[in-house]
Amino acid sequence: MIEFIVSNWLIILLLIALFLIVLKYTKGNTKNYKELLNQGAIIIDVRTESEYKSGHIKNSINVPLKDLTYRINEFDKKDNIVTVCAAGVRAESAKKFFESRGYNVANGG
């Protein structure tokens, strides 16, 4: 039993770190994305195409994170944007990418 715990402690630490990262990115962001949604924001799902096909938010647009750099011109800077993914980490990366280019965006988690 001790051997099992010792051999898997790194995995346990990585899972805890991932949880804390997700918590950091999604905490305190609720009001911002809800306000944008109430104003008719575009929801951009940055998961892979297969993840998106397995289930997604109605009327969301699938733009996998890896494709965002060459598809960003599909969106107007006047639009409000909410990015989403499975856990919020990729959505946060997309949010930062959009913000660096002058878009009004929030991480929806």
pLDDT tens digits for range 6-55: 667 777 777 777 776 666 655 555 547 677 777 778 899 999 999 999 99
CB-based contacts of 46: which residues, under 8 Å, 6+ apart?
Answer: 63, 64, 65, 68, 83, 84, 85, 90, 91, 93, 94
Residue 3, pLDDT > 90, answer no
pLDDT of residue 57 exceeding 80, the answer is yes
Output the pTM of the full model. Answer: 0.70
Q: Are 45 and 57 in contact (CB under 8 A)?
A: yes
> According to the model, what pLDDT value does residue 44 have?
94
pLDDT of residue 26: 54
Does residue 101 register a pLDDT over 70?
yes
Q: What is the mean pLDDT of the chain?
A: 82
Task: Name 79's Cβ contacts closer than 8 Å, sequence gap at least 6.
Answer: 41, 42, 103, 104
Residue 108: predicted pLDDT = 84
**Confidence bin at 75 (pLDDT 50/70/90):** very high
Q: Is the pLDDT reported for residue 77 higher than 70?
A: yes
